[in-house]
Amino acid sequence: MNRSSLALLILFFGSVVVCGQSVTRLQSPNLLGETETRNDRVSAARSLTLLKRLDDDVIVYRSLGDFEANGRLAQVPFARFANDLQAVTNEVEPMLLRMPQGKLKTAITNALDSYRDGAFWWQKIDQPRVVHVSALTSTGTRSSADSAFLASVPYTVAIHWRQANGYLRRAEALMDRSRQ
């Protein structure tokens, strides 16, 4: 009788311990998930702050007429924007690698890529005010097709700035919804 009572007691405590571990295991990932979600939000908020710095550097036009009236691409010279873009990219890319896949990560990635694309095209038409004598080589004559292509590049840059701004606003809206 004592052995059967002892066996039942061991079985009872064994099942309690197993159930207790199961509950602990179920709760631990949720706590980790909340911490990871909080860290993801902090990374996303930091990324948005950095991207806003780029957005402040450029001019986002609401219409083609506004762009044609002003014609400027940014508030800052290309060299400064390129430096800011490099600094922002160096900080944002590691944060994007840690963020989970989703609409917010996609919007932030697209905004950064649009700023990069705009900078790529802006570099094609950037004419620094200082010309080095070593850079004065004959490049031949430009065809009318080349001239037409170069004339369309500022419009391409302005479109990339507008797309980047749209992605940035979309990411901010997603962050606001996740806080609620």
Residue 138 has what pLDDT?
A: 55
C-beta of residue 46 within 8 angstroms of C-beta of residue 95:
yes
Any domain includes 18: no
Mean pLDDT of the chain: 79
Any domain includes 97: yes
C-beta of residue 121 within 8 angstroms of C-beta of residue 164:
no
Any domain includes 143: yes
Q: Is the pLDDT assigned to residue 120 strictly greater than 90?
A: yes
> Domain residues for 124?
39-179
pLDDT in tens, 48-78: 999 999 999 998 888 888 888 887 888 899 9
Number of domains the chain is built from: 1
Gap between the Cα atoms of 119 and 98, Å rounded: 25
Any domain includes 59: yes
